[in-house]
Amino acid sequence: MDTRVASATELAARIQRAHGPELKSLLTDLTSPSDHRSGRRLHRLGPVPSMEDATIKLTLVAEVVELGWFAPGPAPSGTCVTLSLAAHHEETGLHAEIPADECEAWVRALVGHAWMRFVYRCECSAGPASASVDSYRLYLDSFHRPAGKPVEVPAEGCRPLDG
């Protein structure tokens, strides 16, 4: 295990100890079958203190969308979970940059080590807020288990996190 992954794993363990019940509840919400007719659900955790910088607060927003929403043609059944982590300075409310290792650690704490090979980092953000928002995607099959990105779903700018 390289030192970056080891560091993120250690940080994820600290995050799990501090926020385990909230993360477990969020993951349950993200992986539960949807009874919403819109095919889109939003969930939120935070703001919570950064584990690396006490002056920064983080908010995790998760959007669950049916795969058919992304595909230009027929799509397999399943969902795409987009996780976005946003940071702001506690005192001023201004955008703050989030260390990439901490973002990855929050994702690891949420989904667990075994699911990390299915996580994609989205690098399509641009503009002044892009340094303070990091986004990741996780694709779930029709049984709500993690899966690779379906070929029918375009995802420019999303790269496997472990690749």
Contact 9, 113 (CB under 8 A): yes
* Confidence at residue 119, expressed as pLDDT on a 0 to 100 scale: 92
* Confidence at residue 34, expressed as pLDDT on a 0 to 100 scale: 65
Which stretches of the chain score pLDDT less than 50? 126-129, 163
pLDDT per position as a tens digit, 144-160 = 899 988 888 777 777 87
Strand-pairing partners, residue 45, are 60
Contact 121, 158 (CB under 8 A): yes
Nearest residue to 70 (alpha-carbon basis) of 79, 62, 61: 79
* Confidence at residue 38, expressed as pLDDT on a 0 to 100 scale: 58
Query: Which amino acid would we find at residue 86?
Result: A
pLDDT per position as a tens digit, 25-44 = 999 988 887 665 556 788 89
- Cβ neighbors of 125 (< 8 A, separation 6 or more) are 133, 135
What is the spatial distance between Cα 56 and Cα 95, in angstroms, rounded to a whole number?
9
Contact 153, 71 (CB under 8 A): yes
Domain spans, the chain: 3-160
pTM, whole model, 2 decimals? 0.84
